[in-house]
Amino acid sequence: MNIELEKKLISIVMQFLEDIEILTPKIIRATIEDVVNIQRKIYPLWDKKELDKERLAREIEALCNVFVPMISIVDDTCDHQEWL
């Protein structure tokens, strides 16, 4: 993806997200999708540009300090107390 295009997209998405108190990966990805769709309607040539939306999402998550922990599974249940 073009670096200038990526910077522009990140800037626009960040403007949309600035008033949202709690950001989630789902909100970030939906906002990226909305911004890309708007840009493609305004600038039809954008349809021909390759966009790595997942890369953009990870970059914005890092900028916004969104943490998505890895899944963990209890392997040893000898000291485990069920709570459900």
Classify residue 77 by its DSSP letter.
-
Give the Cα separation of 77 and 58 in Å (integer): 34
pLDDT digits (tens, 9 = 90+) for 14-40: 999 999 988 899 999 999 999 999 988
Give the Cα separation of 41 and 84 in Å (integer): 49
Domain limits, the chain:
3-63
The sign of the dihedral angle between the CA atoms of 51, 71, 24, 58 is negative
pTM of the model: 0.73
Whether 47 has a pLDDT exceeding 80, the answer reads no
Q: Give the chain's length.
A: 84
Q: Residue 56 — pLDDT band, cuts 50, 70, 90? A: very high
Nearest in space to 33 (alpha carbons), one of 51, 59, 18, 11: 51
What is the rounded average pLDDT of the residues 2-12?
87
